[in-house]
């Protein structure tokens, strides 16, 4: 049985992610697509929910809104994405694919499929499904932990039912 840092769970997940990103960007360049893996994720998210707000896409991808704005600027320059005003809220910008983006979406999906086939080469279908199910479960566990870590924690006094202003026990209803 091999051991070592390279077989640690976090290192393996990171290495797989890095290799997928490199494979995607290499294949995209070979196809003449002026797009990074992250930009492709933006395009696919918009394709799945046109009219979505910039803030929603940033949240889905777990990136800062300013980072998304830079990607959207590039995708707009490439003629793939357009921003529109929200019909009822002037502060919100909605995102839409241009007609030119339709073929790009098809190419992105083809690249993703090819990489998935390369990554799972030699593995039976049930093993593929198991790996995806396990990774999805891990992702959900960690996302839930992030949510609970980010939630404001009740102070010890609040947990004990002490009124923070008077220092006395609050009435229990």
pTM score of the predicted model: 0.75
18-32, 62-76, 157-171: lowest mean pLDDT where?
A: 157-171
Tell me the average pLDDT across 3-15: 80
Backbone phi, psi, residue 143, to 5°:
-65, -40
CB neighbourhood size of 131 (10 A) = 13
pLDDT at 149: 84
Spatial distance between the Cα atoms of 89 and 108, rounded to a whole number of angstroms: 32
Residue in this structure with the two tokens 């039976």, named with its chain if needed:
124
pLDDT at 8: 87
Q: Between 57 and 167, whose confidence is greater?
A: 57
Q: Which CATH class is domain 8-141?
A: mainly alpha
pLDDT at 173: 43
- Cα angle: 139, vertex 144, 148; to 5 degrees: 150
pLDDT at 34: 83
Maximal CA-CA distance, the chain: 70
Closest among 88, 98, 158, 118 to 19, alpha carbons compared: 118
Whether residue 172 is predicted with pLDDT greater than 50 in this model: the reply is no
pLDDT tens-digit map of 13-54: 999 999 999 999 999 999 999 889 999 999 999 999 999 999
- Domain segments of the chain as ranges: 8-141
Whether residue 170 is predicted with pLDDT greater than 60 in this model: the reply is no
Q: Between 80 and 152, whose confidence is greater?
A: 80
pLDDT tens-digit map of 74-130: 999 999 999 998 888 888 889 999 999 999 999 999 999 999 999 999 999 999 999
pLDDT at 89: 85
């Amino acid at each position: 049985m091999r051991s070592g840092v390279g077989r640690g769970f976090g290192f393996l997940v990171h290495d797989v992610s890095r290799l997928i990103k490199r494979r995607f960007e290499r294949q995209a360049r070979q196809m003449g697509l002026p797009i990074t893996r992250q930009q492709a994720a933006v395009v696919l998210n918009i394709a799945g929910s046109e009219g979505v707000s910039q803030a929603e896409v940033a949240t889905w991808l777990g990136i800062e809104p300013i980072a998304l704005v830079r990607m959207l600027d590039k995708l707009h320059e490439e003629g793939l994405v357009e921003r529109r005003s929200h019909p009822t809220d002037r502060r919100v910008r909605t995102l839409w694919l241009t007609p030119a983006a339709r073929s790009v979406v098809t190419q992105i999906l083809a690249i993703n499929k090819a990489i998935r086939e390369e990554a799972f080469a030699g593995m039976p279908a049930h093993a593929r499904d198991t790996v995806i199910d396990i990774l999805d479960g891990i992702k959900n566990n960690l996302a839930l932990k992030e949510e609970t870590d980010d939630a404001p924690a009740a102070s010890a006094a609040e947990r004990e039912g002490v009124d923070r202003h008077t220092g006395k026990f609050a009435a229990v209803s």
